[in-house]
Structure 1
Amino acid sequence: MPQGAEIRINALPDPELMGSGSIEVYERAGATTTYRLRYPVVVNDEGDLSMLADSRFDPGSEVSILVPVEDGNECLVKGPIHGHAMHLDHAAANSWVEIIGSDTSVAMNRESKVRVWADITDSDAISTVLSSYGYVPDVQSTAAGHAEDRHALVQRETDLEFIKRLARRNGYHFWVTCDSGGTETAHFRRSDLETEPAATFVINLEGSNIDALDLQWDVERPTSIESSDIDPMTGSDIDGATTSSGNRALGSVSLIEIAPDTRSTRLTAPVDDSGDLHARSSAVLGESEWFVQGTTNTTLARLGSLVRAHTVVTVSGAGTRHSGDYYVTGVRHVIDSSQHRMEVELSRNGWNT
């Protein structure tokens, strides 16, 4: 059994699928969560490779992958199967098949739509879209409004592309989570950098739970935005210049304090008010300010807690400058019969002095 993981097909546990094979789930900020289930392929009594045509793995079958945590099971991903990859050896000695799928947001990316959203905010438009897919909405309000007699909000893409475009415009992320009962929540919001750290990675100290930490930093990126527009109704100036993303610096000093020389870029966008333009300007900085990138890996048993994307973790033992809080931008869960390994991707928008 892949280290206590539970696999459900169309909401029903399937003990046979938990008996062998391996699991990979990759969750990443700004991307759809994907999964791969690998199983051996053997020749059955009729001389066929039945695993390759197993109806449980047909297109559209819904897979849920849950792992045990302290207070029950936590769902890593729930979503449809949309592909297979396979390797066949003569006589099937070392043959295998991978079942490939994504979370349910992939269904939002199947149909391009043309729609004009007028007299509405970005967040209200997102809530309307999400309601049609049956998600529990977790939508943070946005400042931008779109009047019919000014700049209406126009959609010329799939619902998923539309949501991701508005998320990037506002400095938000969009992702889908699922609880152990199968209820799905769609999140459209800023990174929560005020939350308590979900785990502590320890290196070079007693009680270490990681063996290596790779970090790199690069300060050559914008730290200020020049932006302006003209109100189409009054002719007055709209100022959207800013030097702040609105995010908490994960360190004692932020990027603009570390690299104070001018590093600016200009944002041009048709807007109706300063709230919209400021939100877009802050979003650009919110994307560029993550100048420290890192990777590490550990196991669920060694760390003692499950790490998820969109959370904050603490690094201890990396020296004064690089110890502290980091934002988790991605986790690749690799689960087999021996362990649940977590390959973690980290970002930081500051450091310590």
Structure 2
Amino acid sequence: MGLGVSIRVDGAPNETVATAASVEVVERLGQPTSYRLMYNLDISDNDFPLLNTGDLGPGSEISILVPTNDSTHCLVKGPVYGQEINFAQGGSGSTLVILGADSSIKLDREDKAVAWADLTDSSAVSAILSQAGLIADVETTQAGHFELKHTLIQRESDLAFVKRLARRNGNLFWVTTDEFGVDTAHFKRPPLDGEPSCDLIINLRDPPSNVLSLQVCWDLERPSKSDAAELDLNNKEEISGSTEKSPLTALGGTAFDEIVDGPRTIHLAAPVDDQGDLKARSEAATIEGSFFLRASGTTTFSSLKTVLRSHTLVNLRGAGSRHSGVWFCSSVRHSIGETEHVMDFDLIRNGWTN
């Protein structure tokens, strides 16, 4: 594979797997990171040897690593789950595409019936991730589930359950892998505080632009506040969980609730008997609604000089005073060939600069 990209099988370099003609990796909020490896199929002894190799078959674990000047990024590590084969008459032009995803898809292989009692959502998630052999980066949640009130019931796969709890708490769930192959599972709200990982630049000469194109759009018809109240059936007292605005830092300085001409209110009716649970769901609704601003564009590794990753902050420059500044990267499609590494990206923002 060109550009110094390393493709490994079960953690080790592999000459056969390294012959990929192209690589595609897609990182996106709310989904496992997926990959596609395309190979040219050659005929040998009236057969296609690449179709028979176990290195690209069931049970193989593929890692895709990209070196930079100061580090190595593991774009994805996970099992092969499928193949797409295109046979051309005569053999020439036949291709094999390997399909796979990160290790979180292993959590989606068995539906379970579990009653989680006397714990929080984050405690249940930590237990699941520990059982799966993943390092857990879990943000503590407010909701409590007590046996004398309502236990937390799981009637789906671990992955579906964790994603359900993530959305309920305004969190994201994703898996990253370091250059040594160690997986970390993250369960937390969008990390909007901190330093941007890189500068995305358009329409500037100094420093030179590194973005080929950029589109920006916004939509204000989204909830900016949440009205939530329930009755605790144990003591007949009202539980209040209303939220006036998103609790997250406003990227750009002026938050969504300050931009809209009057509140956009969503009413939550959730069967809960815990104030922390209702408050978490209320905040989650405002967090999801607050990301009203979106941008999409294209850059390359040769111009950016680094690897753009989802779930990170980036600094956009050259998009005007209102839209320049810090954004949250929500997806990246890495398309890697022999001569270039193209990155199509999506950004989201919950505010702008007035």
Above 0.5 in TM-score? yes
* 2:24/2:334 contact within 8 Å kept: yes
- For 2:343 and 2:304, how far apart are their aligned partners in 1? 10
> How far did residue 181 of structure 1 move?
1.1
Q: Which residue number corresponds to residue 290 of structure 1?
A: 291
Q: Which residue number corresponds to residue 125 of structure 1?
A: 124
- For 1:176 and 1:47, how far apart are their aligned partners in 2? 42
> How far did residue 20 of structure 1 move?
4.2
> How far did residue 51 of structure 1 move?
1.5
Structure 1's unaligned 5+ residue stretches are none
Q: Which residue number corresponds to residue 150 of structure 2?
A: 151
Q: Which residue number corresponds to residue 80 of structure 1?
A: 79
> How far did residue 252 of structure 1 move?
2.4
- For 1:3 and 1:143, how far apart are their aligned partners in 2? 46
- For 1:67 and 1:106, how far apart are their aligned partners in 2? 22
> How far did residue 92 of structure 1 move?
1.8
Q: Which residue number corresponds to residue 314 of structure 1?
A: 315
Q: Which residue number corresponds to residue 332 of structure 2?
A: 331
- For 1:275 and 1:17, how far apart are their aligned partners in 2? 50
- For 2:213 and 2:6, how far apart are their aligned partners in 1? 30
What amino acid maps onto 1:17 in structure 2? V
| 3-state DSSP of counterpart to 2:106 | helix
Q: Which residue number corresponds to residue 224 of structure 1?
A: 225
- For 1:308 and 1:326, how far apart are their aligned partners in 2? 12
- Following superposition of structure 1 onto structure 2, how do residues 96-115 of structure 1 map, counting pairs within 5 Å? 96-115=95-114
The more displaced of 243-252 and 307-316 is: 243-252
* 1:2/1:20 contact within 8 Å kept: no
User: Which stretches of structure 1, 4 residues or more, deviate above 6 A after TM superposition?
Assistant: none
Indicate the percent of aligned positions where both proteins have the same amino acid.
43
| TM-score, length of structure 1 as denominator length | 0.97
* 2:225/2:246 contact within 8 Å kept: no
- For 1:220 and 1:351, how far apart are their aligned partners in 2? 16
* 1:164/1:174 contact within 8 Å kept: yes
What amino acid maps onto 2:37 in structure 1? L
- Following superposition of structure 1 onto structure 2, how do residues 23-102 of structure 1 map, counting pairs within 5 Å? 23-44=23-44, 46-102=45-101
Structure 2's unaligned 5+ residue stretches are none
* 1:138/1:186 contact within 8 Å kept: yes
- For 2:20 and 2:163, how far apart are their aligned partners in 1? 37
- For 1:171 and 1:72, how far apart are their aligned partners in 2? 31
What amino acid maps onto 1:104 in structure 2? S
> How far did residue 208 of structure 1 move?
0.6
What amino acid maps onto 2:23 in structure 1? I
Number of matched pairs: 352
* 1:299/1:341 contact within 8 Å kept: yes
Q: Deviations over 1:313-332 (max 9, x none)?
A: 01111111111111000011
* 1:151/1:270 contact within 8 Å kept: no
| 3-state DSSP of counterpart to 1:97 | strand
- Following superposition of structure 1 onto structure 2, how do residues 196-215 of structure 1 map, counting pairs within 5 Å? 196-206=195-205, 207-215=208-216
> How far did residue 211 of structure 1 move?
2.1
What's the Cα RMSD here?
Answer: 1.1
- For 2:277 and 2:37, how far apart are their aligned partners in 1? 43
CA separation of 1:53/1:19 partners in 2, compared to 1, >3 Å: closer, same or farther?
Answer: closer
* 2:173/2:187 contact within 8 Å kept: yes
* 2:19/2:39 contact within 8 Å kept: no
> How far did residue 58 of structure 1 move?
1.2
* 1:81/1:101 contact within 8 Å kept: yes
| 3-state DSSP of counterpart to 2:161 | helix
* 1:24/1:36 contact within 8 Å kept: yes
> How far did residue 344 of structure 1 move?
0.8
| 3-state DSSP of counterpart to 1:92 | coil
